[in-house]
Amino acid sequence: MTTMTIAKAINEGLRATLAANPKSLLMGEDIGPLGGVYRVTDGLIGEFGPDRVVDTPLAESGIIGTAIGLALRGYSPVCEIQFDGFVFPGFNQITTQLAKIHSRSNGNLSVPVVIRIPYGGGIGSIEHHSESPEALFAHTAGLRIISPSNPHDAYWMIQQAVECQDPVIVFEPKRRYWLKGDVDVENPGPSEDPFKAHVLREGTDATVVAYGPLVPVALAAANAAEEDGRSVEVIDLRSISPIDFDTVTASVQKTGRLIVAHEAPTFGGIGGEIAARISERAFHSLEAPVIRVGGFHMPYPVAKVEEDYLPDIDRILEALDRALSY
């Protein structure tokens, strides 16, 4: 067991991947000597050289598109998109090519490209640096999407993403990059499968589902609720596509109430999908409608008001009150 930050855990995970898999390589803007704007790739170019840690031209479509070509030649590229709001120049390559080549080729080809995207708000930044576009990708069949919330998962999930034969997007909770935690680098333990949700805290009155940056917020809300005598179960979804509905369903069958929290706007978001599926799977267990806690239907607001936009403990507690009022 070693203690490290999420950023360091991803760095170590990438290091382990580069050492174990000679066909793996990292690509992105400023990921070489600088180590990325968040230093996630710090030191790797020195160890593995510029053919394995590639500072690319400044072009997101180019990064994803050439990564696809490298994958077709048998390589395992891991692309870094510098910030969430800058993935869109690469959106075409991700949705029309990366997601579809396996299907288009009737299974003859596969393109195991990994895309790392630091995402989410709460860092007081300027426009385009605080977004949560995961639902846009989750809507596209052919992609897998995961988001770690702690250093141990961060260490293992990046490696599991590279091992996966399908394209995987890893949404990294950038405001938690400096969150510290224990990492078992020998053994993934319960994190063996990156597409399974984890029940982080057991409870009986309601279930709160979160992922990525809101997992610590959900846990804090559950602790606060406990002081009011409410027993809240917290699930870290971990995988946004596919979603581990079995784990969520089992929890709701026990608690009867479900709250889904994410930073992304609620309209057309992952919370709506979970609400719909759970109302089908656990209709008779539900004591209240599924309640979503998320961003508003607006472009991500300016930093000075992001506190009012981002779901926090109180917003989750308010949703809990509503759920318990039925």
Partner 1 sequence: MGTHLPSTEFDGTAVDDQREADAEAVMGEPAAQMVQLLGPDGKLGADPVFSDYADKLTPEHLRGLYADMAAIRRFDVEATALQRQGQLALWVPLTGQEAAQIGSGRASQPQDYIFPTYREHGVALTRNVDLAELLRQFRGVSNGGWNPRDTNFHLYTLVLAAQTLHAVGYAMGIQRDQKFAAAANGAGKQPDAAVIAYFGDGASSEGDVHESMVFASSYKAPVVFFCQNNHWAISVPTNVQTRVPLSNRAKGYGFPGIRVDGNDVIAVHAVTEWALEHARQGKGPVLIEAFTYRVGAHTTADDPTKYRQSAEEDAWRAKDPLARLEKYLRAEGLADDTFFAKVKADGDELAAYVRRTAHDIENPDIRQAFAKVYKEAHPLVAEELAWFEEYSAGFAGEEESAGHAAKAGH
Alpha carbon distance 120, 73 (integer Å): 33
Show the site string, 141-160: x = touches partner 1 by CB under 8 A, - = not: xx-x----------------
Pairing mode of beta strands 24-28, 76-80: parallel
C-beta of 110 vs 253, nearer to partner 1: 110
Tell the smallest beta-carbon distance from residue 4 to partner 1 (Å).
Answer: 29
Please list every residue from 81 through 110 that binds partner 1, using CB under 8 A: 89, 92-93, 96-97, 100-110
Per-residue interface string for the shown chain with partner 1, residues 202-241, x marking contact by CB under 8 A: ---------------------------------------x
Spatial neighbors of 59 by CB under 8 A, at least 6 apart, are 89
* Beta-bridge partner residues of 173: 119
Residue 28 sits in the site that holds partner 1 (CB under 8 A): no
Please, what is the minimum distance in Å from the beta carbon of residue 93 to partner 1? 6
Minimal distance, residue 161 CB to partner 1, in Å: 12
Instruction: Choose, by CB under 8 A, the member of 42, 62, 88, 123 that binds partner 1.
Output: 62
Stretch that binds partner 1, among 13-21, 138-146, 176-184, 209-217 (CB under 8 A): 138-146
Q: How far is the CB of 58 from partner 1 (least distance, A)?
A: 9
198 is catalytic: no
Tokens of 3: 């203690």
Does residue number 188 form part of the binding site for partner 1 (CB under 8 A)? no
Q: Is 139 in the site for partner 1 (CB under 8 A)?
A: no
| Between 26 and 101, CB nearer to partner 1 | 101
Query: Quick check: 12 and 184 in contact, CB under 8 A?
Result: no
Least distance in Å: CB of 309 to partner 1? 30
Catalytic residue from among 129, 152, 198, 262 = 129
The residues of the shown chain that bind partner 1, judged by CB under 8 A, are 22, 25, 51, 56-57, 59, 61-62, 64-75, 77, 89, 92-93, 96-97, 100-110, 141-142, 144, 164-166, 195, 241-246
What are the residue numbers of the active site?
Answer: 129
